[in-house]
Each structure stands twice: as C-alpha cells, then as structure tokens.
Amino acid sequence: MKAFLERCIQSVQDGDAELAAGLAREALERGYSPLEVIENGFVKGIREVGRLWEEGVLFLPELVMSAEAMKLAMSLLRPALAKGARLATRGHVVIGTIEGDIHDIGKSLVATMLEANGFRITDLGADVPVGRFVDEVEKSDADCLAISALLTTTMSGQRRVIEGLKQRGLRLRVKVLVGGAPCSHEWAQQIGADGYAGDAVAAVVLAQELLGSGTAQ
C-alpha cells in the first residue's frame, strides 16, 4: 500500500494526468479506501507541488499540469467516496473573476488548487457582475468568496462586492479573499477583505487559515 501511495504522490508531482487517472482506477479495482488514497496519496502530492512552487523549483506550466492530474484523479475517486466514507471538506468556496475582466487562467488555477486541497468549489467564471457574487453568497452555503481582478481598472469591483455583501447583511457569513496581479495585502485591508493571496498556492494556505481545519460534509 505504501508503495502504491508513493506512486500516487509521484504522479501528481510529475503532472502526469494519465498515470494519476490510471492509479485512481487501480485503487478502485483493488478495493483500496478512496479516502486513504486521496488523503495519503494525491493530496500529499499536490502539497509537495505547492512547496516546490514556493521554493521556485516548479513553475506555472508544472503547477497547471499537477493540478490537472489531481483534478482527474479526484473526479474518479470522489463518486466512490460518496457511497461510503465521508470526505472531510475544508469548506465551500465561491470563486470568480470580477466584471469587466476576462482573465480566467489565474482564477481557474486557484479553483483547481483549492479543490485539490479538499475545498468544495463553485466557479462562476470570468466577467462576473458584482451582484452575481452577492446573490451566490445569499443562496448558497458558501464559507468563502474568492474574487480575482487582473487589471488596475477592474479591481475596484472587489470593493463593490464587499459593499454589496454588507448592504444585504451577508458580510459576516463568508470570508472574502482577493487576488490578481494589481492586488496586495494593503488593498485587501483597505477594502475590508479577509485576506490577499499572490498565487494559487498562497490562496490554499490562506483559505486553510481562514476557514480552519474543515468540516465534515
């Protein structure tokens, strides 16, 4: 089993989606606990990728490929989980890129990395109107709202989302994360967000800090 888990870790680290999917199928065929394969295999792999990214060993192409491998393996293992074991989820994150801004890649990478690390994700896409973010918080059980803005000309929309949440009495229901090239810790503070993350790996760390160790789903 240990050797098998090591292969799972390595497949994610190598960004080998085909291998990761093959291992996920093999795990199901052999009757391994999907929970254990996820938590002690694939998740460990993606955490290691996060560490190597921060150190400057891996870069955007590798991060994207590892996240894709992780996502594919999870998509195969998750249905098996639902039947038996309860996967600990770290919380529900609603994510999107603010209106006027069509940048999708950074936001999607954050979504994938959060998902890979055990968060449940609702991805609203790019060019999302301010009101849509607020509506989504109102009607869902979101624990966290993550808003991306890649342009200095669109980042004021992040402030308007927070104002919209306040007006509807929803601000305390969710933690608000902001990200994107022109954003900063100071900006997050200024607009009353709960935090800023500079990249997908930092976003995972931040979400974990803000939402605590997670809840059973």
Partner 1 sequence: MSRTDFLATLQQRVILFDGGMGSMLIAAGLGSGETPEAWVLNRPEEIAWVHRAYLQAGAEVVTTATFGASRLKLASSPEGRSLDVMAVNERAVEIARKAMEDDGISTRFLAGDIGPSGQFFPPVGTLRASDARASFREQAQALCNAGVDLFLIETMYDLREALEALRAVRELSDLPVLVCLTFDQKPRGFFTIMGDTPGKAVNALLPEGASGLGANCTLGSRTMIELAGTFRPLTAAPLLFQPNAGQPVMEREIPQYRQQASEFAQDMMAILQAGANAIGGCCGTTPDFIRETRKLLLANSNSEGAR
List contacts with partner 1 (CB under 8 A): 15, 54-62, 64-65, 68, 100, 102, 105, 151-156, 159, 182, 184, 186-187, 190
**Closest CB to partner 1 among 29 and 55?**
55
| Tokens, residue 143 | 């624990």
The minimum distance between CB 61 and partner 1, in angstroms, equals: 5
**91, 207 contact by CB (below 8 A):** yes
Q: Which is it for the CA torsion 77, 95, 16, 2, positive or negative?
A: negative
Between CA 161 and CA 51 the distance in angstroms is: 32
**Closest CB to partner 1 among 5 and 69?**
69
**Closest CB to partner 1 among 1 and 102?**
102
Residue 171 CB contacts under 8 Å (≥ 6 apart), including other chains:
162, 165, 192
Residue 27 CB contacts under 8 Å (≥ 6 apart), including other chains:
4, 8, 34, 37, 41, 77
**Closest CB to partner 1 among 1 and 60?**
60
The minimum distance between CB 126 and partner 1, in angstroms, equals: 11
The residue with tokens 């059980």 is 141
The minimum distance between CB 7 and partner 1, in angstroms, equals: 22
SS3 90: coil
Pairing mode, if any, of strands 215-216 and 92-97? Answer: unpaired
**Closest CB to partner 1 among 115 and 143?**
115
**Angle, helices 2-13/60-83, rounded to nearest 10 degrees:** 140
The minimum distance between CB 156 and partner 1, in angstroms, equals: 4
**Closest CB to partner 1 among 94 and 191?**
191
The minimum distance between CB 149 and partner 1, in angstroms, equals: 11
The minimum distance between CB 87 and partner 1, in angstroms, equals: 27
CA distances from 50 to 66, 174, 196, 208, 209 (A): 10, 25, 17, 14, 16
CA nearest to 147, candidates 201, 190, 189, 203: 203
